[in-house]
Each structure stands twice: as structure tokens, then as C-alpha cells.
A and B are shown apart, each in its own frame.
Chain A
Amino acid sequence: DGGITQSPKYLFRKEGQNVTLSCEQNLNHDAMYWYRQDPGQGLRLIYYSQIVNDFQKGDIAEGYSVSREKKESFPLTVTSAQKNPTAFYLCASSMMTGSGNSQPQHFGDGTRLSIL
């Protein structure tokens, strides 16, 4: 079954701790994205990557870091600098946008991060 796998489903962070959220896709998509979802605020883009070893900041990148060493994988680290990390984190992927079109994004089932 092709899809996007996020793990863990639930994650707890202690004060001062960095935590890493996993995202793996087997859709052969070039582009991958991380969003944060908070009640009443919709999805906000944290980081995205269009190609291996390259990524760009989204609207709310402060306190987060990413890597893209493999096409299939795009892990997100929530650092201790992120003072309000409690949220639902969603990973998505899409085919690369060619000239003149835009491809829909497909989502994983999310990781819910809470502070201990």
C-alpha cells in the first residue's frame, strides 16, 4: 500500500528536550512538507523540501529543524527553542510541480505532541 507513515502517533516532550518526528513515504514523491495544526488556526507550514539535501523554511520555522537525506524520509526535530510545541503535526508529500500546474498534497495520519 502506497502512503505516508508518521511515527510515533503520540509523543511527549520534557522541558529542554529535543524530539524528532518521523515521516516516511513510498509514493515516489519528490516534495515533502511539515505542517502544524492547532485548533481554530488551520494548517501552518513549518518546512518543505523539493529535492534531497535541500529544504526551505515555511511560515513558522522558528524552533524547528529538518533534514532530507533520502527521498523517502523527511524527519522533523522540535527543538527546546520551540516554546509552544503542543500541537498536531502533519507530514505531506506531492509530486513536483511542473511549469503551469500544481499538484495536490497527500497527508500522513499525524503525530500529536504534548509537553510533560
Chain B
Amino acid sequence: QKEVEQDPGPLSVPEGAIVSLNCTYSNSAFQYFMWYRQYSRKGPELLMYTYSSGNKEDGRFTAQVDKSSKYISLFIRDSQPSDSATYLCAMSGIGANNLFFGTGTRLTVIP
């Protein structure tokens, strides 16, 4: 079993839809959770960075962590064609430099 599982998609939604992206994990030591956005032929760009359980909101993006279920989510409100990209979840333990990544979910927002 992989430490981090992420549905690869692809996921297609109409412009303006609410998008929900999810990851599950198996290691209860993970405390820091990140979401990255990666455009084609580019490096991942950090979108959200959260610690432990709870919600964090930044503009149209909301990151949610449920440590009891070992489940994290990224919600995108009012999705735009420019949101079309691959979204990677990543996580790490306390004091750890190494990140564990999901395989990424490819999202297309259709105008």
C-alpha cells in the first residue's frame, strides 16, 4: 500500500463548478499537508500549506484535513479554465524534510 493515495482522474468540470480533490494516507505521523498545482511542462507551485486537522481558506481555494480519517481535500470554488492543471497532494511528519507525494489529479475546467 502506498503511503499517499490520490485518484489520478482525469477530472473535467464546467467553468464555475466547485471542484473537490482528495488524498488519503496511511501514516498517522503526518502532520503537515500541502497542495501543489502543476501546469504542463512546469514545476509544482505551492498552493496551500496546513498543519494538523482543520480548514484553511485562501481566495477560491480551501484545504481541509481530517486526521481521524487520514483524508485531505482541496476545494476550488468558481473554477476557471486557468485552474486546468495537475494537483498534487504532499505531506510530512514533524521535523521531517522529506515529503510524500500523491500521484496527482489532472483537472480540466471547460469554458
Q: Which residues of A come within 8 Å of B, CB atoms?
A: 4, 6, 31, 33, 40-43, 45, 48, 50, 58, 90, 92, 94, 96-110, 112
| B99 touches A (CB below 8 Å) | yes
Taking a contact as CB atoms under 8 Å apart, the answer to whether A102 and B94 are in contact is yes
Taking a contact as CB atoms under 8 Å apart, the answer to whether B95 and A104 are in contact is no
**Can you name the residue of chain A whose Cβ is closest to the Cβ of B43?**
A107
User: Which residues of A are found within 8 Å of B90, using beta-carbon distances?
Assistant: 105
Q: Which residues of B come within 8 Å of A, CB atoms?
A: 4, 6, 8, 31-32, 34, 36, 41-46, 49, 51, 88, 90, 92-99, 101-104
A99 → chain B closest CB, angstroms = 6
A112 to B40 CA separation, bound complex (whole angstroms):
12
Taking a contact as CB atoms under 8 Å apart, the answer to whether B95 and A90 are in contact is no
Contacting B95 at CB < 8 Å: which of A41, A48, A99, A112?
A: A99
